[in-house]
């Protein structure tokens, strides 16, 4: 049945049954019932391959006839929008903890003041002196209600201690800051034509906190740029002459037989093997010049054509076959055409494709040859093929596979099975039944595949090389130096994976490898192995003491053992929890390799580490659909824009073109973001303590009457305009050490590990500094105002001058405190820091310089000018600012001298000062203003 025109489509009478909308993009279960006149309806299965997602673009065709199944919010894409789980960074968590502390401070301040107010007012003269009577209404109010309103009034007065604007600023900082990642030219990949991509800005600072890196191997550590290296049929090895780099090669006889002893049996297997590889795949041939996705030029006497597939392995294999003389030409009308070695075209009817999935780890096709034979070809991982093989030279092939694996090559085994007519009917029956099922289709298909794919005859194996990505080793080394533990999680064989790990310097020659594999646990019980490894690790640690760097451990674990370890212990508290022992071992290993992992196991591992008692910050990086689960699970998920589609990049928090970009991402961007936001958070709490604590102290001197110390405009604008921009800009452009230093010395990353800038002692320091400054502001002003004249004409100042004096000192102190913390003075910093001080002065002059018609009070009128006209006010402002800043300066200088951190050493040793003329100009300006 084919529908080529609109009329033909119009003539179709059918109903479509499909499942309820669900977010899984790669799954669709449905059925189409086609009604023809007076005939029984025909049912056909509909799967994910029949479904076009919203936003999809058509390829290889001009148009398509379709029926809309899901619309609007029910489309899979729409359902996927919401489903992403919210990740919160460690910084955010400590921010919230600090906030709770401040909330408690706020409430206790209000309670203390309310209680003191009523204690103080006990004597009626104080409660209601003759000069300040209450209204009748107030008098009649019950004392409890009065106390409660007083409490609320205090809450309103002190509420500024809760830095609401911090949340706004943090959001802005994250949003704007995340552009630096997208903008980074060093993370731009010429080949892909794309740079890094930020999918969430919530986790920028988490990049500076990573302790565990979980990386996928294929496509992440390696290029996922496959090259066919060799194949072996029954133990005989075939190697194509030239290595294809995409250039055109002659397809003529290029078989190099190492061991040539032709025989009928061998000949037959050889033919079958090459045909199997030419047929058992889902490669498409594209005869155009530009296509997206995977492409390889092949020469067919006609314009260049490409093989396209979602799996680069397949392309490599088909190409390899071509170089060995068997060219897959095309799929036409369900017939696959092959050009064999003798330049004859062979045609096979494609009957069924049993698609690859990562659980089965194999795929099969059923074809009918021109001679009418039914053949089932299967290729897959050795572990999933060997158990299903009944004959063939298993030993030889196995040996070759293992040897290749040790060299780091990716191996696949090929097997076949001849089907009789009746067997074929049975297979069709199984498959159709499973495909038509609306419920549990996946499961049923898996069952059907399991029944069909067995009793194989082993043909041989292939080896494909996947080269390491550029600078992968350097990146891993840097991550190690930065104190991160790198875990490689892969579905590959242990030997392949281990070879890659050595190549990528995950394991060094000095690394002592601990093995926790099925092979070992078969010999000993899991219990014993675990305990033995644990002992080894602990012994080494006790010998080497604190200097652990002399010896490091690498652990290799495979999927089967891992699930045994993770299996909940039936005996309860019996011989101990394997989980804990396993974690203990892992904790002492700098590198861990997990091979033979199922996608879900990757997520499990991440979850296990996440939930361990230190709650380390984890990062998962991968490129394929099978990494999505761990990318979603880890604290930070990074997708590589790889060859296996965009799923990982789409589900990740950040996407980068290459693995090597991870280094800059973590060591530079992550580091910067962390110190920036840490300072931002601490500074916000600090400046609000400075702001509100004097107001709290003032209550003791104004009869606890909730008299604000500052004018309303100052209260409102303090966080919004006087002190907001410098910290925002600091948190965008601060670089406490240069990028080059950060890249050169990855160990600086350790300085900020474990949220070190937002720990309680640091928080306490900042808060104490805030309280100290506030006390200085308030009592400084208090003693200056105490019963004395400020002016030379004998006039007195009032309460608003008092508040303005405190406020002026406050604004200058907190801004200069930030200036002291700034290590990287770009013109922007100069502009905002001196600019906001200037703005404060100008605003105050303006605010007090005019009778504002819309205000019903004019309390600030000329207050600021009057204050500036007084000599002692200037002197006290300078004095109080200096005193407030002194302890912090002294602390900094002494800490730097007594116990400098690695960062501070790096700061000291950097090449000094690159002052620009404009900077000098700005500085001189500022200093003239600072000293009034």
Partner 1 sequence: MVKQEKELANRPDNTAYTQQRLPAWQPMLSAGIIIPGFVIIGLAFIGIGVALFVTSQSIQVLELDYTGVEQTSPCFKCTDQTIKNCVCKLDFNIDKLFEGPVFFYYGLSNYFQNQRKYGVSKDDTQLSGDLDNFKTPSDTCLPYRYDSQGKPIVPCGAIANSMFNDTFKLFQIVKGVRKQVPFDGKGIAWWTDYNIKYRNPSVPVLKNAFNGTVKPISWPRPAYELDTSDPANNGFINQDFLVWMRRAALPDFRKLYRRITDGDYAKGLPAGNYSLEIAYNYPVLDFDGRKKVLLSNVSWMGGKNEFLGIAYLVIGSLCIVMSIVMLIVYAKFKFPEED
User: Which residues are known to be catalytic?
Assistant: 216
CA distance 741 to 907: 9
> 3-class DSSP state for residue 512?
strand
793 binds partner 1 (CB under 8 A): yes
Is 410 labelled a binding residue? yes
Of the residues 130, 142, 261, 509, which one makes contact with partner 1 according to CB under 8 A? 130
What lies within 8 Å, CB to CB, of 488 at 6+ separation is: 215, 216, 217, 221, 497, 500, 501, 506, 591, 592, 593, 594
Burial 480-505 (b: 16+ CB within 10 A, else e): bebbbbbbbbbbbbbbbbbbbbbbbb
Nearest to partner 1 of 369, 919 (CB atom) = 919
Residue 552 in contact with residue 574, Cβ under 8 Å? no
Segment interacting with partner 1, rule: CB under 8 A, options 16-24, 560-568, 762-770, 901-909: 901-909
Q: Is 575 in the site for partner 1 (CB under 8 A)?
A: no
The 8-class DSSP code of residue 911 comes to P
Crossing angle of helices 671-699 and 760-785, in 10° steps, is 40
| Choices 46-54, 227-235, 582-590, 877-885; region in contact with partner 1 by CB under 8 A | 877-885
Does residue 462 belong to the site contacting partner 1 (CB under 8 A)? no
CB of 819 to partner 1, least distance (A): 9
The nearer residue to partner 1, 434 or 906, going by C-beta atoms, is 906
Q: Restricting to residues 283-302, which ones interact with partner 1 according to CB under 8 A? A: 290
Helix (H, G, I), strand (E, B) or coil at 139: helix
Contact call for residues 623 and 647 (beta carbons, < 8 A) = no
The answer to whether 519 is annotated as binding is no
- Using rule CB under 8 A, residue 141 touches partner 1: no
Annotated ligand binding at 216? The verdict is: yes
Stretch that binds partner 1, among 249-257, 557-565, 679-687, 863-871 (CB under 8 A): 863-871
Is residue 152 within the footprint of partner 1 (CB under 8 A)?
no
Residue 175 in the binding site for partner 1 (CB under 8 A): no
Residue 633 near residue 617 (C-beta atoms within 8 A): no
* Binds partner 1 by CB under 8 A, chosen from 892, 924, 927, 929: 892
Nearer to partner 1, 131 or 265 (CB): 131
Q: Considering only residues 693-752, where is the footprint of partner 1 by CB under 8 A?
A: 701-703, 705-708, 733, 735, 739
What's the N-to-C CA distance of the chain in angstroms? 91
Does 492 count as an annotated binding residue?
A: yes
Please report, as residue ranges, which positions from 519 to 558 form the binding site for partner 1 (by CB under 8 A).
none
Contact 649, 460 (CB under 8 A): no
Phi/psi for 699 (5° steps) reads -60, -30
Structure tokens given for 846 = 């303006």
For residue 239, the minimal CB distance to partner 1 (Å) is 34
300 contacts 313 by C-beta, under 8 angstroms: no
Tokens read off for 359 = 């659980």
332 marked among binding-site residues: no
185 in a labelled binding site: no
Q: Is 886 in the site for partner 1 (CB under 8 A)?
A: yes
Query: Could you say whether residue 928 binds partner 1 (CB under 8 A)?
Result: no
Contacting range for partner 1; rule: CB under 8 A; set: 43-51, 537-545, 710-718, 852-860: 852-860
356 marked as part of a ligand binding site = yes
Closest by CA to 624, choosing from 490, 760, 737, is 490
Rounded CA gap, 549 and 532, in Å?
Answer: 22
| 3-class DSSP state of 680 | helix
Cβ-based nearer residue to partner 1, 78 or 883: 883
Cβ closest to partner 1, residue 125 vs residue 344: 125
In whole angstroms, how close is the CB of 691 to partner 1 at the nearest point?
18
Q: 607 is written with which tokens? A: 């979850």
User: How far apart (Å, rounded) are the C-alpha atoms in residues 663 and 477?
Assistant: 10
Q: Which is nearer to partner 1, 688 or 876 (CB)?
A: 876
The reply to whether 843 sits near partner 1 by the rule CB under 8 A is no
Contact 429, 379 (CB under 8 A): no
Q: Does 925 interact with partner 1 (rule: CB under 8 A)?
A: no
Residue window 756-785: x/- pattern of binding to partner 1, with contact defined by CB under 8 A: ------------------------x-xxxx
**If binding means CB under 8 A, how many residues of this protein chain bind partner 1?**
101
Distant-in-sequence contacts of 424-431, Cβ < 8 A, 24+ apart: 424/351, 424/366, 424/374, 427/352, 427/366, 427/376, 427/452, 428/351, 428/352, 431/352, 431/354
Binding-site residues from annotation for ATP = 216-218, 314, 356, 379, 410, 490-492, 596, 602, 626-627
Annotated binding site: 216-218, 314, 356, 379, 410, 490-492, 596, 602, 623, 626-627
Q: Which residues does the annotation place in the binding site for Mg(2+)? A: 216, 218, 623, 627
């Amino acid at each position: 049945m084919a529908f080529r025109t609109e009329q033909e489509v119009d003539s179709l009478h059918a109903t479509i049954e499909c499942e309820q909308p669900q977010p899984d993009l790669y799954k669709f279960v449905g059925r189409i019932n086609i009604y023809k006149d007076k005939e029984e309806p025909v049912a056909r299965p509909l799967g994910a391959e029949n479904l076009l997602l919203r936003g999809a673009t058509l390829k290889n065709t001009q148009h398509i006839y379709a029926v809309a199944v899901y619309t609007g919010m029910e489309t899979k894409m729409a359902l996927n929008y919401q489903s992403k789980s919210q990740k919160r960074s460690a910084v955010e968590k400590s921010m919230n903890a600090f906030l709770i502390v401040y909330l408690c401070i706020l409430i206790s301040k209000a309670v203390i003041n309310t209680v003191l107010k009523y204690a103080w007012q006990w004597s009626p003269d104080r409660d209601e002196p003759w000069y300040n009577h209450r209204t009748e209404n107030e008098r009649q109010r019950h004392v409890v209600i009065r106390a409660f309103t007083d409490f609320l009034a205090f809450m309103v007065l002190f509420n500024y201690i809760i830095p609401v604007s911090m949340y706004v600023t943090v959001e802005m900082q994250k949003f704007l800051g995340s552009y630096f990642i997208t903008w980074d030219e060093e993370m731009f990949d010429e080949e892909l034509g794309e740079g890094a991509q930020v999918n969430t800005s919530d986790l920028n600072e988490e990049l500076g906190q990573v302790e565990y890196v979980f990386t996928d191997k294929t496509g992440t550590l390696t290029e996922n740029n496959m090259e066919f290296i060799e194949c072996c049929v029954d133990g005989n090895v075939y190697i194509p002459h030239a290595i294809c780099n995409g250039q055109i090669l002659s397809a003529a006889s290029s078989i190099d037989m190492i061991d040539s002893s032709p025989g009928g049996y061998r000949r037959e297997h050889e033919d079958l093997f090459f045909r199997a590889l030419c047929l058992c795949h889902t490669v498409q041939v594209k005869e155009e010049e530009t296509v997206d996705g995977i492409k390889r030029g092949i020469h067919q006497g006609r314009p260049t054509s490409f093989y396209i597939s979602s799996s680069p392995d397949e392309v490599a294999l088909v190409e390899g076959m071509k170089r060995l003389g068997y060219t897959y030409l095309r799929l036409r009308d369900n017939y696959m055409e092959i050009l064999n070695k003798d330049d004859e075209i062979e045609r096979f009817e494609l009957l069924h494709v049993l698609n690859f999935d990562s659980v089965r780890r194999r795929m099969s096709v059923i074809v009918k040859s021109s001679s009418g034979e039914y053949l089932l070809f299967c290729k897959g991982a050795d572990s999933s093929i060997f158990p299903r093989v009944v004959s063939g030279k298993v030993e030889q092939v196995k040996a070759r596979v293992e040897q290749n694996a040790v060299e780091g090559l990716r191996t696949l085994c090929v097997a076949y099975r001849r089907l009789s007519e009746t067997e074929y009917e049975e297979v069709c029956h199984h498959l159709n039944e499973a495909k038509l099922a609306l419920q549990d289709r996946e499961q049923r298909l898996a069952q059907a595949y399991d029944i069909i794919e067995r009793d194989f005859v082993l043909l041989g194996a292939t080896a494909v090389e996947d080269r390491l990505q550029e600078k992968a080793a350097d990146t891993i080394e840097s991550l190690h130096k930065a104190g991160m533990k790198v875990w490689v999680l892969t579905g590959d064989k242990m030997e392949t994976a281990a070879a890659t790990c050595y190549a990528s310097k995950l394991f060094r020659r000095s690394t002592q490898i601990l093995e926790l594999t099925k092979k070992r646990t078969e010999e000993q019980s899991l219990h014993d192995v675990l305990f033995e490894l644990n002992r080894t690790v602990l012994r080494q640690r006790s010998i080497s003491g604190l200097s652990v760097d002399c010896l490091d451990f690498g652990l290799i674990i495979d999927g089967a053992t891992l699930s045994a370890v993770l299996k909940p212990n039936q005996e309860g508290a019996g011989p101990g929890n394997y989980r804990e022992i396993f974690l203990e071992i892992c904790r002492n290993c700098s590198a861990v390799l997990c091979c033979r992992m199922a996608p879900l196991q990757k997520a499990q591992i991440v979850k296990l580490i996440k939930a361990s008692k230190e709650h380390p910050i984890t990062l998962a990086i991968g490129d394929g659909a099978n990494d999505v689960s761990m990318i979603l699970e880890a604290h930070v998920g990074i997708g590589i824009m790889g060859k296996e589609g965009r799923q990982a990049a789409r589900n990740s928090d950040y996407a980068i073109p290459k693995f090597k970009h991870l280094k800059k991402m973590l060591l530079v961007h992550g580091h910067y973001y962390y110190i920036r936001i840490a300072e931002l958070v601490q500074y916000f709490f600090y400046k609000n303590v400075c702001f509100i604590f004097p107001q709290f102290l003032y209550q003791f001197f104004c009869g606890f009457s909730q008299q604000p110390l500052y004018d309303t405009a100052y209260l409102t604008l303090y966080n919004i305009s006087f002190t907001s921009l410098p910290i925002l800009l600091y948190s965008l452009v601060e670089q406490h050490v240069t990028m080059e230093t950060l890249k050169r010395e990855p160990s600086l990353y350790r300085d900020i590990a474990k949220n070190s800038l937002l720990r309680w002692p640091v928080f306490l320091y900042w808060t104490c500094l805030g309280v100290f400054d506030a006390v200085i502001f308030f009592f400084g002003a208090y003693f200056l105002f105490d019963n004395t004249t400020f002016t030379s004409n004998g006039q007195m100042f009032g309460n608003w001058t008092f508040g303005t004096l405190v406020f002026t000192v406050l604004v200058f102190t907190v801004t200069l405190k930030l200036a002291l913390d700034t290590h990287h003075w770009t013109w922007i910093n100069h502009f905002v820091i001196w600019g906001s001080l200037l703005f404060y002065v100008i605003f105050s002059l303006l605010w007090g310089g005019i009778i504002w018609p819309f205000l019903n009070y004019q309390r600030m009128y000329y207050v600021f000018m009057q204050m500036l006209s007084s000599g002692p006010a200037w002197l006290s402002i300078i004095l109080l600012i200096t005193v407030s800043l002194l302890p912090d300066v002294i602390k900094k200088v002494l800490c730097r001298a007594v116990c400098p951190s690695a960062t501070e050493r790096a700061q000291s040793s950097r090449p000094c000062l690159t002052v620009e003329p404009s900077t000098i100009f700005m500085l001189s300006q500022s200093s003239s203003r600072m000293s009034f």
